[in-house]
């Protein structure tokens, strides 16, 4: 009996990373539309109170999330040749949810009333966003350190000298 196919079920080792890559691209397109529509609305109504939401929605939500998607797509290709030491789909999934929760919290925190101190909530979510970026850099860095012997398909450890 075949294993049930789920949203994070993989037949090839790199599939889980490619699923996250597609999710990131879809989410980045949502933030592109949100940022563009918000920017157009600010111009139309002559109100620039939502500049933080507009710029962070575009820069973090669209640009950075699209880069995360491209990175996880690349990691998926590397994982197809075999497991990568120190790089797991579980860690990549944690990174995905940290990044999304961080951005949503930052955007919501930026529109909360300043007088009550509720806007500081956005700073806490900014820390989540930074943690997601550091985790992504760690996963990508670990993948870059490893290369494969093209004839054997086995891992070779990079000596750090670019050879």
Range of the domain at 124: 15-146
Under the banding of pLDDT at 50, 70 and 90, the label for residue 4 is very low
Determine, yes or no, domain membership for 61.
yes
Query: How many separate domains does the chain show?
Result: 1
Q: Is the pLDDT of residue 9 over 70?
A: no
Determine, yes or no, domain membership for 156.
no
Determine, yes or no, domain membership for 134.
yes
| C-alpha separations of 64 from 16, 114, 115, 155 in Å | 20, 27, 31, 29
Determine, yes or no, domain membership for 34.
yes
H helices of 3-162, in order, are 15-45, 51-56, 65-79, 89-111, 121-145
Determine, yes or no, domain membership for 4.
no
Determine, yes or no, domain membership for 139.
yes
Strand partners, 157: 146
Determine, yes or no, domain membership for 154.
no
Question: pTM of the predicted model, to two decimals?
Answer: 0.82
32: tokens are 């592109």
């Amino acid at each position: 009996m075949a294993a049930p196919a789920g949203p994070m079920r993989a037949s090839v080792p790199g599939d889980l990373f490619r699923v996250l890559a597609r999710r990131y691209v879809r989410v980045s397109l949502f933030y592109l539309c949100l940022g563009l529509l918000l920017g157009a609305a600010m111009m139309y109504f002559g109100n620039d109170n939502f500049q933080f939401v507009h710029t962070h929605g575009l820069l973090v939500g669209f640009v950075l999330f699209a880069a995360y998607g491209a990175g996880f797509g690349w990691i998926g290709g590397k994982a197809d040749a075999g497991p990568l030491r120190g790089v797991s789909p579980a860690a990549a999934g944690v990174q995905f949810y940290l990044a999304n929760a961080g951005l949503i919290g930052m955007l919501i925190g930026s529109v909360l009333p300043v007088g009550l101190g509720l806007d500081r909530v956005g700073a806490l979510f900014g820390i989540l966003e930074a943690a997601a970026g550091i985790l992504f850099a760690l996963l990508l860095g670990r993948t870059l350190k490893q290369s494969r012997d093209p004839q054997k398909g086995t891992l070779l450890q990079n000596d750090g000298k670019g050879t």
